[in-house]
Chain A
Amino acid sequence: SQTIHQWPATLVQPVGSPLSLECTVEGTSNPNLYWYRQAAGRGLQLLFYSIGIDQISSEVPQNLSASRPQDRQFILSSKKLLLSDSGFYLCAWTDPPNYNEQFFGPGTRLTVL
């Protein structure tokens, strides 16, 4: 069966510090991968998606970047965090032949102080 992991689960970082959030998927090959952010009291916003290694598409301009160095690894990064980067970050995957469902990880809660 497929599983998706995210770490860390929670993170408190000062403004201006770097960020690296990791997401890995097990039990599938060539998944599409997604990063979403849920700001406090708001819905989810798609940040990045990837259809393959080193193939990243950004949905909104921002202070963040994403990378996919391996088939089942998706990393969200920032060189300098802003207060507005605080939120709940969710990674998701879908199996391209079955586009009708995305599976979400447990999320990382990031607080920037």
Chain B
Amino acid sequence: GDSVTQMEGPVTLSEEAFLTINCTYTATGYPSLFWYVQYPGEGLQLLLKATKADDKGSNKGFEATYRKETTSFHLEKGSVQVSDSAVYFCAFATGGYNKLIFGAGTRLAVHP
């Protein structure tokens, strides 16, 4: 069935380090792909999205490329900041009503 697999956290990095959070999905067809971010005590915010193969979503220095051949949507950032500390969720939309299937989330902790 439909599912998303994310790398387990927590991921602990020093400020200005390079970040990669892996995400692969199992889905029927070619769904839209998303990264959502959840800051401590808050709801989810859309970070970036890609709607078709080879699209690159980007926002706030984060990037992810829709790789159809590997069914992946890995999140990257070249230089993380303490303010990037949060939980990151990979997701895709399925079905006719935009139901989202989420990964388990990856907690990122960035230290000064």
Contact = CB atoms under 8 A, between A and B. Distances in A.
A7 to B, nearest CB: 13
* Residue from the set A99, A102, A107 with the largest chain B CB neighbour count within 10 Å: A102
B104 A43 contact: yes
B99 A59 contact: yes
A43 B105 contact: yes
A100 B99 CA distance: 10
A19 to B, nearest CB: 19
B17 interface: no
B42 interface: yes
A74 interface: no
B35 interface: no
Given A42-B104, A59-B99, A94-B98, A99 B93 contact: yes
A99 B97 CA distance: 8
Contacts of A107: 42-43
B73 interface: no
Interface string B89-112: 101010001111111110000000
A46 B102 CA distance: 9
Contacts of A105: 43
Given A43-B89, A43-B103, A44-B89, A51 B97 contact: yes
B77 interface: no
Contacts of B43: 6, 90, 104-107
A49 to B, nearest CB: 6
B97 A32 contact: yes
Q: Which 10 A-B pairs have the closest CB atoms?
A: A43-B104, A99-B98, A104-B44, A104-B43, A44-B102, A43-B102, A107-B43, A106-B43, A43-B105, A94-B98
Interface of B: 4, 6, 32, 34, 36, 42-46, 49, 51, 89, 91, 93, 97-105
Given A43-B89, A46-B99, A100-B93, 16 more contacts: A34-B100, A42-B104, A43-B6, A43-B105, A44-B44, A44-B89, A44-B91, A46-B100, A46-B101, A59-B99, A90-B44, A100-B49, A101-B46, A101-B49, A102-B98, A102-B100
